[in-house]
Amino acid sequence: MKKLIVLLLTIAMVGAVFAQTPTLSASSTLSWGWDLDTGLTGFANTNKATISVLFPVDNVAKKGEAGWWGEIAVKDLYFKISDKQLTTGDALTFTDWNDKDGDGVKDSGEYATLSAKITNGMWALSVSTWNKFDFANADALYTGDVAVTIDADKAGTSLSYTANGLSVGVTAASKADWTANNKNEYALGANASYKVGDAITVSGGVAYDAFDATKQLGGTASIAYSAAPLTVSVATDLFYDPTPKTFDADALLTVGYAVMEGLDAEADAYYSTLDNDVDAKVAVDYAVDPIEAGVWFGIADPITPAIAYDLGIYAGYTYAIDAATKFYVYAEYTSDFTGKGSLVPYVSLTNTSVTNTTLKLEYNPDDADVLAGKYGKIIASAKISL
């Protein structure tokens, strides 16, 4: 209790200084569950309370306007203090500096960045960041993608030029920083991209462990077209490692088309020297309330005796019984045509007519496969939230 009082006083004082209002959120859930596979039943109680105050910091940048200048920018910097005494016993928790929504998940775009460069507006020498030697434009549809990571890639700098839709750069990086790069191993690289009109972008890059024991070589290239409703991209990656002597390359063609609102179609074709064959997939997805549905079909190794197929179908429907009551049913079926396949159903009935309360009855929240003889769980719960 003393720790909680200290925390509240701290939040009150700091909140006053930063004009932030501490927030209290809490929830308590009573549930009864029945595991249809084990026969186990019982109640569960879950309590959660969080007192938090968020300290956002304005994005700040400093730069010049003429000649050469040092430019530095800090974006998306913030942190949150929270108390979770009811669930963890911890009196004070500093959540991830970069976790903007405080959910404990490192989501894309949530993270603070600091960039610094010496520039004149077109030419730039990076100080804080460089173009890392990681190439994975042609991600595999199933397995075997060639994601290139050059060995000497710990720290470095890039000299770049950007103007009129063209961006080119050269990069130098060391295997470790200057205090630990005991073999003086370095890698060199170059990259370029060019925007042709409004719809086409061409890009590519190469990196070589020129002064590194491995002498690895990696490269990537892509061309993308995007003009609604059509998108088309072709991408390739390659990687050469002389010890052991291996060469891997892959290529991916993706075509997408927005047929109408909520209805999208996509086709992919993938080739990799790793398995020396082609994988292909076509998919159609539809999502307009209250319906969601989709189907995909894939084929792997079509020119070998090990040919394999993959089929998936899913559908979901939300029925609003009234303003406070919703019935939702969903099922997903997948098959590789070698057995029964997999069927995962889910059903829920949710009611929010009681103020601050969510009543829910749900079946199979853990995605049990009924075709494998697993029948999941039935859970009834009442959750009160603050």
Please tell me the least confidently modeled range out of 90-99, 265-274, 308-317. Answer: 90-99
Q: pLDDT tens, 190-217? A: 999 999 989 999 999 999 998 988 899 9
pLDDT over threshold 60, residue 10 = no
Question: Is the pLDDT confidence value at 95 over 60?
Answer: no
Q: What is the pLDDT of residue 4?
A: 46
Give yes or no for a contact between 124 and 132, defined as CB atoms under 8 angstroms apart. no
Highest-pLDDT range among 90-99, 117-126, 139-148, 272-281: 117-126
Cα–Cα nearest to 251, from 266, 263, 234, 264: 234
For residue 352, what pLDDT is reported? 97
Quick one: pLDDT at residue 186? 94
Give the CA distances from residue 379 to residues 31, 34, 338, 371, in Å, rounded to whole numbers and listed in that order: 7, 6, 33, 21
Residue spans per domain, the chain? 130-260
pLDDT digits (tens, 9 = 90+) for 144-155: 777 778 888 889
Question: pTM, whole model, 2 decimals?
Answer: 0.78
pLDDT at 239 over 80: yes
Instruction: Please name which of 163, 171, 168, 161 lies closest in space to residue 130, comparing C-alpha atoms.
Output: 171
pLDDT recorded at residue 5: 46
Residue 108 pLDDT > 50: yes
Here the tokens at position 195 are 């925007």
Please choose, from the candidates 65, 70, 56, 45, the residue with its C-alpha nearest in 3D space to the C-alpha of residue 19.
56
Per-residue HEC secondary structure of 77-145 comes to EEEEEEECCCCCCCCCEECCCCCCCCCCCCCCCCCCEEEEEEECCCEEEECCCCCCCEECCCCCCCCCC
Percent pLDDT > 70 in the chain is: 85
Each residue's pLDDT tens digit, 41-74: 999 999 888 777 766 677 888 888 889 999 998 8
User: Whose structure tokens read 């200290």?
Assistant: 6
pLDDT in tens, 159-179: 999 999 999 999 999 999 999
- For 282-330, write each residue's pLDDT tens digit: 999 999 999 999 999 999 888 778 889 999 999 999 999 999 999 999 9
Rounded Cα distance between 185 and 305, Å, is: 45
Greatest Cα pair distance in the chain: 76
Q: Give the per-residue pLDDT at 135.
A: 79
**Per-residue pLDDT for 14 more than 60?**
no
The residue among 190, 151, 195, 143 whose CA lies nearest residue 171 is 190
Q: Which of 226, 227, 206, 230 is nearest to 137 (CA)?
A: 206
